[in-house]
Amino acid sequence: MLKKARICLAIIIFALITFCFLDFTETGNAHYYLSKIQFVPALLSSSLIILASLIILTLLLGRIYCSVICPMGIFQDIINWFAKKRKGKKRHFHYSPPRTLVRWGIVILCVLAFFSGLTVVIALLDPYSGFGRMMVNVFKPIYLSGNNLLANIFSSMGNYSFYRVNVALLSVPSFVIGICTFLLIGFLAWKYGRIWCNTLCPVGTILGFLSRFSLFKIRIDTEACNHCGVCSTKCKASCINNLEQKIDYSRCINCFDCLDDCRQHALSFTMPLRKTKQRQTSDESRRQFLIAGIATTTAVPNLMAKAKAVAASANGMKSDKRHNPITPPGSVSREHFLSHCTSCHLCVSKCPSHVLKPALMEYGIEGIMQPTVSFEKGFCNFDCTVCSDICPNGAILPLTKEQKHITQMGKVVFIKENCIVYRREKNCGACSEHCPTQAISMVPYKKGLTIPHVNTDICVGCGGCEYVCPAYPFRAVHIEGNTVQQKAKPFTEKKEEKIKVDDFGF
C-alpha cells in the first residue's frame, strides 16, 4: 500500500518535471514549482520556507524526498525496474556498510568549492541539475526529432497541428557531461540500486543525516523477525543489516519495497529511534579529461576565428567579438549569477527566443555549462520574463514586465567601419527595425541614405540588432554585456499631436 502510493506520486512528479524540461510549446508554467522545491535550488535561492518544509518533511518521514521528489532518484528507480525485468529472480541486493568518509568528504568539498566561487562542483554533483542537463542536452533533441517526424507525416497530409522545430546540440561539453551522467548513474542504478544516492550525492548525505532522527522509520520487530534476509535482498539502498536486525537510517530512502515481502510481517513504517557508522577511500576527478577535451575543442574554432580576423582587417573591418559575456536578464550581476547557478538548464530549455545557451569558456573554465546569452539563434523578446520566472536557484531573480523593459543586460556597440550603409552606400536599417526601444535609430546620412545612431541610455541589450545585422564577416552592431546589470532609462515619447487625415493626397 505504501509502496504503491510512493510509486504513484513519484511517477506523477517525474512526468511533470520531465515534461517541464522537454516541452517546447510553452504550455503554461504551473509545473515550474517542482524545480523550486528541489533541495539545492532552494538552498541557493535562500528559499527558507521551502528549505524548512523539506527539513520538517525529512524529520517526520525520513528520506521520502529521495523517492518521490528528486527526479534523479526516480530516474534510478526506473532503471532499477528495467533491471528487475531483465534479471528477474536473480536480482538481489546485499547489505553494504556505509561509506561515511566519502559522503561527508563530498559535502565538505561542495561547501569549500562554493565559498571559493567554484559553483561548478555543486553543479556537477547536484542530482536535480544533473537530471536537468541530461534532459535538455541529451533527451530533448531526441524528443524534438520525434516531434519533427510527426510534423512531417501530418503536414504531408495537409495538417499543420504539429510544426517543425530546430534541433541542435547547444553545447558539446554539456552534451558529453549529460551522456556521462546518464551512463554513470544509469550503470550504478542498474547494478547496485541507489548507490549514487548513498555514496556520492551530497543531498543524500545531508538528508541522510536528518533522517536518522526522523519520527517515522521502517522498523524491524526483532521478535517476529526470523533472519531470513529477504528484506535485505529487496533493499536497493543496501541499508538493511538482517544479521544484526538493524537498518541504516542515513541511507534508507523510504521506498517501502521491503515491507510487503516480509513473511513474518516484522517490518513496518512507524514511530521510535536508532544509529550506525563507518569509513573508506576517495575518488579521482574527471577534470583532467574534461580540460583536455575542452582545450582541443576550443583550439579549432579559435584558429578559424583568427583566420577570419586577418581576412577582414585587410578590408578595413573591425572585429565584433564580445569581450564581456551577457548573463540572463534579472541575474543582477555576473557574480550573483555564477555563484547561484548550478546549470540545471531549465532556462536554456524554456527560453522561447532560444537566446540562452550553456557557456563554453565565456565565464572561464569554472563557469562551463552555466547559461550565457547568445544572439546566434534569436534575440531576447522585450516582454518576455520566462527565465526569471522559472529559475529555481534564484540565480535569475523574478522581474515584472515593466522591470524587464528597463533591465539593461548589455549595451549596444556600433562599428561604423563594418556597416553596409557606410561601406556600400546602400540602404539597410535591419538593426533599427528590430529595436524595441529605438536605442538604435536611423538618422539621415548622405544621398537619401540613413545610418544607425546609438543611444546606450535606453538600450536594454536585447540583441535584436546584433541578431539581424547582415554585415559579413563582422557585424556592425553587437552587445557588450554589463558585468553588473543596469537600469536603462525608459524611452520618452514626444507629446502626441492629434493627427486628422481627411483626404487621399493624390
Partner 1 sequence: MDRRDFLKTLAITGAAMAVQHSEAMDFLSQSVTGMNGEKIDLVAVMGSEPELMFRRAIEELGGMKRFVKPGQKVVIKPNIGWDKVPELAGNTNPKLVTEIIRQCFKAGAKEVTVFDHTCDDWQKCYKNSGIENAAKMAGAKIMPAHLESYYRPVSLPHGKVMKSAKIHEAILDSDVWINVPILKNHGGANMSIAMKNHMGIVWDRGYFHQHDLQQCIADICTLSPKATLNVVDAYRMMKTNGPRGRSVSDVVLTKTLFLSQDIVAVDTAATKFFNQVRDMPLDSVEYLANGQELKLGTMNLDKLNIKRIKL
Catalog residues that contact partner 1 under the rule CB under 8 A.
Answer: 26, 158, 160, 163-166, 352-353, 378, 381, 383, 420, 424, 426-430, 432-438, 441-442, 448, 450, 468, 470-472, 491, 493-494, 496, 499, 501-506
Q: Please identify, using beta-carbon distances, which residue of 22 and 449 lies nearer to partner 1.
A: 449
Q: In the complex, what is the shortest distance from the CB of residue 452 to partner 1, in angstroms, rounded to a whole number?
A: 9
Residue 468 · residue 431 · CB < 8 Å: yes
Cell of 308: 577570419
Number of other CB atoms surrounding residue 481 within 10 Å: 19
Given the complex with partner 1, which of 356 and 442 has the nearer CB atom?
Answer: 442
Nearer to partner 1, 297 or 450 (CB): 450
Distance CA 402, CA 382 (A): 10
| Shortest Å distance, C-beta 433 to partner 1 | 6
**Least distance between partner 1 and beta carbon 15 (Å):** 24
In order of 57, 218, 321, 478, 497, the CA distances from 221 in angstroms are 25, 10, 69, 70, 86
| Gap between the Cα atoms of 480 and 484, Å rounded | 12
Question: In 10 A of CB 143, how many CB atoms?
Answer: 18
Burial of 449 (0-12, 13-18, 19+ CB in 10 A): middle
The 3 state secondary structure assigned to 108-157 is HHHHHHHHCCCHHHHHHHCHHHHHHHHHHHHHHHHHHHHHHHHHHHHHCC
Beta carbon nearer to partner 1, 54 or 442: 442
β-pairing, 356-358 with 371-373?
antiparallel
Residue 398 near residue 330 (C-beta atoms within 8 A): yes
In 3D, which of 246, 277, 237, 215 has the Cα closest to residue 73? Answer: 237
Tell me how crowded residue 124 is: count the other CB atoms within 10 A of its CB.
22
CB of 465 to partner 1, least distance (A): 11
Contact 242, 227 (CB under 8 A): yes
Indicate the pairing of strand 217-220 with strand 267-270.
Answer: antiparallel
Tell me the closest approach of the beta carbon of residue 287 to partner 1, in angstroms. 39
> Which three three-digit cell numbers place residue 228?
531470513
Minimum CB distance to partner 1 smaller for 46 or for 315: 315
CB of 329 to partner 1, least distance (A): 16
- Report whether 95 contacts 236 (CB < 8 A): no
- Report the nearest approach of partner 1 to the CB of residue 400 (Å): 18
Nearer to partner 1, 399 or 420 (CB): 420
Rg (CA), the chain: 28
Q: Between 114 and 154, whose beta carbon lies closer to partner 1?
A: 154
Cell numbers 535562500 correspond to what residue?
46
Q: What are the C-alpha distances in Å from 100 to residues 142, 206, 213, 245, 249?
A: 38, 11, 17, 20, 13
Q: How far is the CB of 504 from partner 1 (least distance, A)?
A: 5
Report whether 366 contacts 118 (CB < 8 A).
yes
CA distance 193 to 185: 10
Least CB distance to partner 1 at residue 477 (A): 12
Residue nearer to partner 1 on the CB measure, 91 or 423: 423
Q: Grid coordinates in use for 83?
A: 533491471
Least distance CB 476 / partner 1 (angstroms): 11
Measured from the CB atom, the residue of 246 and 318 that comes closer to partner 1 is 318
Task: Please state, in angstroms and rounded to a whole number, the distance separating the CA atoms of residues 494 and 137.
Answer: 47
Q: Which residue has the cell 548513474?
A: 185
Q: Which is closer to partner 1, CB of 293 or CB of 436?
A: 436
**Nearer CB in complex with partner 1: 165/397:** 165
Closest separation in Å from C-beta 356 to partner 1: 14
Closest contact distance (angstroms) between CB of 424 and partner 1 is 8
* Residue reference for cell 547561484: 340
Q: Which residue's CB is nearer to partner 1, number 116 or number 427?
A: 427
